[in-house]
C-alpha cells in the first residue's frame, strides 16, 4: 500500500502506511499535524459519528437553529458546530501533544467524504 494525500478547498487528510510512527495527517491550507494510526482511525470514526448525529438532528431543529455536538475518546475530543447541513469542526488531541485544529464549515463536507474513503477503518 502506498501513501495517500487527499485535499480540497480548506482541508487535507493523508495516510502513509510506511511511516514509522505518524502515519496520518490532517490539516487545512494553512496548517497540518501528523497523527498516529490510532489517532487517525479515531479521528475518522468520531467525524463519521458526529456527521451522522447532525444528520439525525435535521428533522428536530428549526431552520435557523444552530447546534454544537461533541464526541470524545481517550485519544481525541471533537466538536461540530453550526446547522445540521453545514457546520465547522474542531479537534484536540488528548495524547500529550497539545494539538488543536479547526476546519471552516465550507471545508467539512470534502474532509468528511475523503475521510470515509481514505483507508478501511
Class of residue 92 by CB neighbours under 10 A (exposed 0-12, middle 13-18, buried 19+): middle
Quick count: other Cβ atoms within 10 Å of Cβ 49?
14
Alpha helices in 1-121 (DSSP H): 37-57, 108-117
Least confident of 8-17, 39-48, 58-67, 100-109: 58-67
Question: Per-residue pLDDT for 117 more than 90?
Answer: no
Question: Per-residue pLDDT for 120 more than 60?
Answer: no
Give residue 119's pLDDT band: very low, low, confident or very high (50, 70, 90). Answer: low
Predicted local confidence at residue 121, as pLDDT: 41
CATH number of the structural domain spanning residue 61: 2.30.31.10
Is the overall model pTM greater than 0.85, yes or no? Answer: yes
Predicted local confidence at residue 29, as pLDDT: 95
Q: For 20-50, how does the pLDDT look when each residue is reduced to its tens digit (9 = 90+)?
A: 999 999 999 999 999 999 999 999 999 999 9
User: In terms of Cα–Cα distance, which of 39, 35, 28 is closest to 88?
Assistant: 28
**Number of structural domains, the chain?**
1
Q: For 47-90, how does the pLDDT look when each residue is reduced to its tens digit (9 = 90+)?
A: 999 999 999 988 887 778 899 999 999 999 999 999 988 999 99
- Containing structural domain, residue 53: 4-117
Amino acid at each position: 500500500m502506498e501513501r495517500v494525500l487527499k485535499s480540497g478547498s480548506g482541508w487535507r487528510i493523508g495516510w502513509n502506511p510506511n511511516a514509522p510512527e505518524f502515519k496520518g495527517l490532517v490539516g487545512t491550507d494553512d496548517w497540518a499535524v501528523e497523527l498516529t494510526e490510532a489517532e487517525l482511525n479515531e479521528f475518522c470514526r468520531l467525524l463519521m459519528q458526529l456527521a451522522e448525529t447532525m444528520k439525525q438532528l435535521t428533522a428536530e431543529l428549526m431552520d435557523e437553529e444552530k447546534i454544537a455536538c461533541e464526541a470524545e475518546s481517550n485519544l481525541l475530543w471533537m466538536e461540530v458546530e453550526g446547522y445540521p447541513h453545514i457546520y465547522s469542526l474542531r479537534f484536540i488531541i488528548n495524547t500529550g501533544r497539545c494539538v488543536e485544529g479547526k476546519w471552516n464549515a465550507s471545508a467539512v463536507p470534502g474532509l468528511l467524504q475523503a475521510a470515509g474513503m481514505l483507508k478501511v477503518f
